[in-house]
Structure formats: structure tokens, C-alpha cells
Amino acid sequence: MAEQLIDTFGRIHRDLRISITDRCNFRCQYCMPVEGMVWTPRDDLLTFEEIERLARLLVERFGIDSIRVTGGEPTVRAHLPVLIEKLAALGVDLAMTTNGATLAHIAQDLRDAGLKRINISLDTFDRDRFVSLTRRDNLDAVLEGIDAAIAAGFDPVKVNAVIMKGVNDDEILEFAAFGRAKGVVVRFIEFMPLDADEAWSRDKVMPLADIVDVLSAAYELEPLERGSSPAARWRYADGAGEVGVIATVTDAFCDSCDRIRLTAEGQFRNCLFALDGVDLRALLRGDASDDELADVLRGNVAQKWAGHQIGTVAFIRPKKSMSQIGG
């Protein structure tokens, strides 16, 4: 029986998020500052073989049963289906988060390689607003990517929308209607203080309660069991699918979080909001044994905080943006 990764508070960690690049094909203000970023040199990124080794260690020794591939934008990494095939062979629930801009060209290849589920980020259906948020005129490409994911047979296809007061909160019902019509799961996400421009403020956060109020005014919702999912979930009473809200700010789920993260350059982080990580790349390239790697992983997870404390005087913003950490 596999050992468990347990933190000081008794939480067991089974979900691994792997960022495979900090690069992107958008320059979204919530990931990258307007002046751009200094990208990690290619040789400093973990190779597919290094990623596979760490993933296999976590699966076989610590019982990790869910892996999410993220970025940056994972589809900009060359030969992505090769990595997907390596990770799928581990027998885990394998998913990926993407902005969808080039997904139409690769969706079927990813599915054939063993990817099971896919999350696509889309914050607006308004073209001008999309350009303002992403600094790219790629709305049609993202919508084509969603259709390609559905056609490839991903189940479920999830659409993640970061909702911000005064920016796109007027589109909540449009997103709900889109999800119901397409048969995809829409998840509304509260705006988190990880934006590259550091423009986050509490008054821009659309709280879970307000999002649900908007939805409930149009649809009858029935709550679903949450478990360790980051999203509070509801089904539509008429049977037209489900909807979720990830309320990191106003209804933090730190007490049930089972996620750990590996960044593109090999930093292991026990929390999305951790202030630093452990350099696994140096250990891998220094010929560390699996036992040595396991000791480091075990020790880092044991130090995980009780919670991120967003909105309190104790909160410290991580130096890295979402693009550098991975979603």
C-alpha cells in the first residue's frame, strides 16, 4: 500500500498539478504583465523524462491518483502528446488546463494519447473585452477549441471563467446558457491575487454568494456533494448539466485541499500561494535517488500552512504570477 503525503493538519494530498512551461500564446493581464516576461530558458525546464520520473514516484510511492497538466499554456510545449502518453501510462485521472487558442489543432491527438479531461479558460464572449483581457484577438479560435474538445470525446469538458466585478460579471447568465447548450461544465472562479499586473483588489472579487444569486434568479439549482473538489457544485434541476464556483477568496477550501504543484523549472510547491518551493531539478540532475527525492517531498508537504489567509493582514502575495506557478 502506498505511503501518504500528509501535512501538519492531517490533510492527505493526492492531486498533482504539473506546469510544463511558463510560456503562453496570450499575454493575458492576469498571467503576464503588459511589458512581457523573461521566459525560462529551454534547458532550465524539466524534460519529459524528468517529469515522468517525478510523477511516477508520486503515484507509486505516495498514491497520487490525479494529475493536471498546466502552464503557462501547455500546448506551446513541443510534442505534448508524447508527455501525455507517458503520464497516462501511470493509470491516473489525467487532465489538462488550456486557454484553447490552438486546441482545435491538437485535441484529438491529446485524446488519443490518453488525456481524459480538459479545462478551457474563457473569461468573456465579447470580442472587444476578450482583446482587452488577453491582448489577442483569438476568441473564435478558443470557441473552436471548445468544439474540438467536445468532438474528441473529452468528458467532461469544463470552461473556467474568472468573474470580475465591473469587467465581465454581466456575462454570468450567458456563460450558464452556453454551458447548458454545449453540454459543458462552466466553473466561475473568483478573481485571485496572482495577476501579473498586481491590480487585484477585494472590491473586484465577485463572491460566490453573488454568483449563485444571479444563477438562481434564472435557474433552479440543486447542490451536489463537493468532496475535495475546489468547486462548490450545483446541478440544474431540469437536468441540463451542472455549474460550479471556485471561491478561493470568499469561501476558501484550504481545509479540504489535496493539491501539490510542480513548476516548469522543477520547483515543488505545497500550495498555490506558497512563498517558495523546493528545487527538485537540482536534485534530479545531481543524481538524487528516489528515496532522497521522496524525503524532500514528504518534508515539504509536512510544512504546508493551514490556509492562504487572503484578505487578512497576514496574507503575503507570492512573487510569482499564475503563469509561472501553474493553475
Write out pLDDT tens, residues 177-187: 999 999 999 99
Least-confidence region, from 9-13, 23-27, 292-296 = 23-27
Write out pLDDT tens, residues 35-64: 555 668 889 999 999 999 999 999 999 999
**In the predicted structure, residue 158 carries a pLDDT above the cut 70:** yes
Report in angstroms the alpha-carbon separations of 185 from 121, 180, 325.
12, 8, 24
For residue 81, give its domain range.
5-325
Q: Which residues pair with 12 in a beta bridge?
A: 6
The pLDDT value recorded for residue 253 is 65
The pLDDT value recorded for residue 190 is 86
DSSP letters, 262-294, are E-TTSEEESSTT-S--EEHHHHHHTT--HHHHH
Helical (H) or strand (E) element with 242: strand 242-246
Report the CATH number at residue 140. 3.20.20.70
Number of domains in the chain: 1
Greatest alpha-carbon pair distance for the chain in Å reads 59
Report in angstroms the alpha-carbon separations of 208 from 122, 178, 214, 305.
18, 19, 10, 24
Least-confidence region, from 79-93, 150-164, 224-238 = 224-238
The pLDDT value recorded for residue 198 is 55
**Pairwise CA distance, residues 267 & 300, whole Å:** 11
156 upstream amide cis, omega within 30 of 0: yes
Report in angstroms the alpha-carbon separations of 159 from 19, 66, 215.
19, 19, 16
The pLDDT value recorded for residue 313 is 45
The pLDDT value recorded for residue 277 is 85
Which residues, 6+ apart, have CB-to-CB distance to 40 below 8 Å? Answer: 21, 22, 264, 265
The pLDDT value recorded for residue 316 is 52
Over the chain, what is the mean pLDDT? Answer: 88
**Pairwise CA distance, residues 274 & 319, whole Å:** 10
Is 323:272 a contact under the CB 8 Å cutoff? no
DSSP letters, 149-197, are HHHHT-SSEEEEEEEBTTTTGGGHHHHHHHHHHHT-EEEEEE--TT-TT
Number of C-alpha atoms within 13 angstroms, CB side, residue 18? 29
Which residues, 6+ apart, have CB-to-CB distance to 164 below 8 Å? Answer: 191, 204, 205, 206
**In the predicted structure, residue 156 carries a pLDDT above the cut 70:** yes
The pLDDT value recorded for residue 121 is 95
**Pairwise CA distance, residues 198 & 89, whole Å:** 39
Strand order of the sheet with strand 117-121? 221-223, 232-236, 242-246, 185-190, 157-163, 117-121, 93-98, 66-70, 15-19, 259-262, 267-269, 278-279
The pLDDT value recorded for residue 43 is 92
Write out pLDDT tens, residues 241-291: 999 999 877 776 667 788 899 999 999 998 876 767 899 999 999 999 999
**Pairwise CA distance, residues 16 & 133, whole Å:** 28
DSSP letters, 46-113, are PPHHHHHHHHHHHHHHH---EEEEESS-GGGSTTHHHHHHHHHTTTSEEEEEE--TTGGGTHHHHHHH
